[in-house]
Structure 1
Amino acid sequence: MPYDPQTQKLNISAGLASVSVAGTLVLIKLWALWATGALSIAASLADSAMDLLISAAGLAAILYAARPADEDHAFGHTSVEDLASLGQAIFVAASGGAILWAALARLFAPEAPQLADEGAGIAVMIGSAALTAMLVLWQKRVAAKTGNKVVSADMLHYIGDLIPTLGAILALWLSARFDLARADSVIAILAALIMLRGAAKIFIASWHALMDRAAPEAVVRSIAEIAEIWPGVRGFHDLRTRTAGAKIFVQLHIELDGAQTLEAAHAIAKSLKRAILDAHPQADVIIHMDVWQS
């Protein structure tokens, strides 16, 4: 089952906004790095460059995931969201590792690095932070409405980008005000560690989804509670769930009175399926009907 048009429109808007903001941030941070030579800006620039690649891949994944099921992909294409998130985690981890290595080398170098034109760098990074914050707010709104994992993962990247950006502002200010050039390396190290932590969380969540892990316990409990009290359902068993991207695939066996007509039994199953979909719009529900044994 593909996303509905409104949901898909929101997902695409978030993807396009992400690519546009990432491209803009790369350009202005390149100039700021050239002007200042600050490694903390280099850390923020590297994160933005990775975000640009990841955002472009994420937008492609959003478009691909919206394709309807076909002969080769009977359950749709939403698993590409988990693959894209997995790739995002690997890219972010590689970027964080490179920044950590460079920052440690500079921190323990015999000579402290000399930064330049801190005022211009601070102005650029403040603009970057404001632009990133606006994007994060929009992505948060879209992710809350659609549950799209690519948008959620991209939002985490940009939240992570805010931290090295703010750190770069602090490093430049400390260098200009107190001549503490080594603060630049310390802040870059902290930013790299935050990036590595975020990458690990994204990787684990994507890995679980690709391994057909069950839906969150609250979702499973909600479905069970609906089935338990549904009129005409005498009992249920073999409730199974798995996730793929923002989709939740549900299989459920319900026990019905064997004396009723087939038409009546189908009406009960159909109404139960609708109730589950109302509670969880991104679910794909299959209900099997069994005869109740008293």
Structure 2
Amino acid sequence: MSSSDATAGLSNGPKLPPEAARLMRLATYASMATAVILILAKAVAYLLTDSVSMLSTLLDSLLDAAASLVNLLAVRHALTPADREHRFGHGKAEALSGLGQSAFIAGSALFLFFESAGRLVTPQPVVHGAVGIGVMLFSMAMTFVLVLFQRSVIRRTGSIAVSADSLHYVGDIAANLAVLAALVLSSQFGWERSDPIFAIGVAFYIILTAWQIARGSFDMLMDREMPDEERQQIRAIVMANPRVRNMHDLRTRRSGPHRFIQFHLEMDPAMRLTEAHELSDEVEAAVLKAFPTAEVIIHEDPEGVNEGRKTFG
């Protein structure tokens, strides 16, 4: 919206296309269903094999289920339309969800590390290794299909909650591969210490995943600017209009799947107010074509104005 529209009553906030909202919900349902199925399969495998590496992947799936449930609630809240108390919408519920996930994940990694360290000192043989191997192959196939679907949703929605969930499952594929190797080495070749060694490796990977999710969530909560490539794209779109003399004070941020873009638009000082408003609408439409889930706020300035405000490029 242009600055003349910004105070005209309660805005509905940025619009997320219905198809994008549907995909985000579907992605959270698929993630939750996958986690529940894998928990049941891995729990049976752990009870039969007594493998600490199997325990590591079972624990990871339990956390995935908890994270997916948090995501489900967060996405539902984030998609709630703007209201009088939250005029910019509820998109940051996704970032809060991400911080909660990172805390759960880090705690589980510490538990797994200490459990594995004990098994490293006192190794135990893995029994019924074939069952564990079969479950891991099934788990990897199911997870791969889920990740492909999540990646498609992320490309179309930009959802940080679905992105964080997908990051879990991408890591799960690598972790499951490590567990598969541990089961083969321990049950088929008698290398008992391979089981806790691989489990410790998975624990470190889980900690790294927690850090990545926490960092992305923190950036959103602290209103980190959109990437430089996207900021340059916005500038190029704005300056492509021949009636625009210049622009300055571009500021951007993200809130869940939404983007907020605001800047000062410099134009001919002799331009009438109605013409300035029309130009702002043209520029806003051009920016929205490239960023359809954004809310654009434009302040009109006469060319060459210097408001003495500190800007960062």
The interval holding the TM-score normalised by the smaller chain is over 0.9
Aligned equivalents of 2:61, 2:172: Cα separation in 1:
7
- Offset of residue 215 of structure 1: 1.1
Give per-residue Cα distances to partners, 1:122-161, cap 9 Å, x unaligned: 1111111111111111111111111000000000111122
Matching residue within 238, 261, 280 for 2:291:
280
Shift of 1:266: 1.3
Task: Name the SS of the counterpart of 2:152 in structure 1.
Answer: helix
Equivalent pair of 2:15/2:294 in contact (CA under 8 Å)? no
The partner residue of 1:181 within 176, 189, 192 is 192
1:185 aligned counterpart, secondary structure: helix
Please say if 1:115 is aligned against 2:126: yes
Could you tell me which residue of structure 2 aligns to residue 58 of structure 1?
Answer: 71
Stretches (4+) displaced over 4 A: none
**Cα distance in 2, alignment partners of residues 164 and 266 from structure 1:** 55
How far apart are the structure 2 equivalents of 1:165 and 1:107? 19
User: 2:5 is matched with which residue?
Assistant: none
The equivalent residue for 1:172 is 183
Q: Is the 8 A contact 2:15 2:293 kept in 1?
A: no
Q: 2:41 aligns with which of 28, 34, 44?
A: 28
With the length of structure 1 as denominator, give the TM-score of the two structures: 0.96
State whether residues 66 and 77 of structure 1, in contact with CA within 8 Å, keep that contact through their aligned partners in structure 2: yes
Q: TM-score, normalised by structure 2?
A: 0.90
Q: How does 1:88-103 map to 2 (within 5 A)?
A: 88-103=101-116
Say if 2:273 is the partner of 1:262: yes
User: Cα RMSD over matched residues?
Assistant: 1.3
Distance 2:271 2:180 in 1: 72
Q: 1:227 aligns with which of 207, 231, 238?
A: 238
The residue that corresponds to 2:58 in the other structure is: 45
Aligned mate of 1:208, from 219, 231, 235:
219
Could you tell me how far apart the structure 2 residues matched to 1:282 and 1:91 are? 30
Alignment partner of 1:25: what SS? helix
State the one-letter code of the partner of 1:8. Answer: A
In the TM superposition, residue 228 of structure 1 has moved relative to its aligned partner by 2.1
Corresponding position: 1:12 with 2:25: yes
How many aligned residue pairs are there?
292
1:243 aligns with 2:242: no
What do the CA deviations read for 1:149-206 (whole angstroms, capped 9, x no partner)?
Answer: 0000000111122222222211111122211111010110111111111111111111
Percent identity between the aligned chains? Answer: 38
Distance, in Å, in 2 between the alignment partners of 1:4 and 1:63 is 15
CA contact (8 A) 1:103 1:188 kept: yes
Work out whether residues 50 and 91 of structure 1, in 8 Å CA contact, stay in contact via their aligned partners in 2: yes
Give per-residue Cα distances to partners, 1:76-102, cap 9 Å, x unaligned: 000111111111111111111111111
In structure 1, the residue corresponding to 2:85 is in which secondary structure?
Answer: coil
- Contact kept, 8 Å, 1:251 with 1:285, in 2: the verdict is yes
Distance 1:21 1:293 in 2: 57
Partner of 2:259, secondary structure, is strand
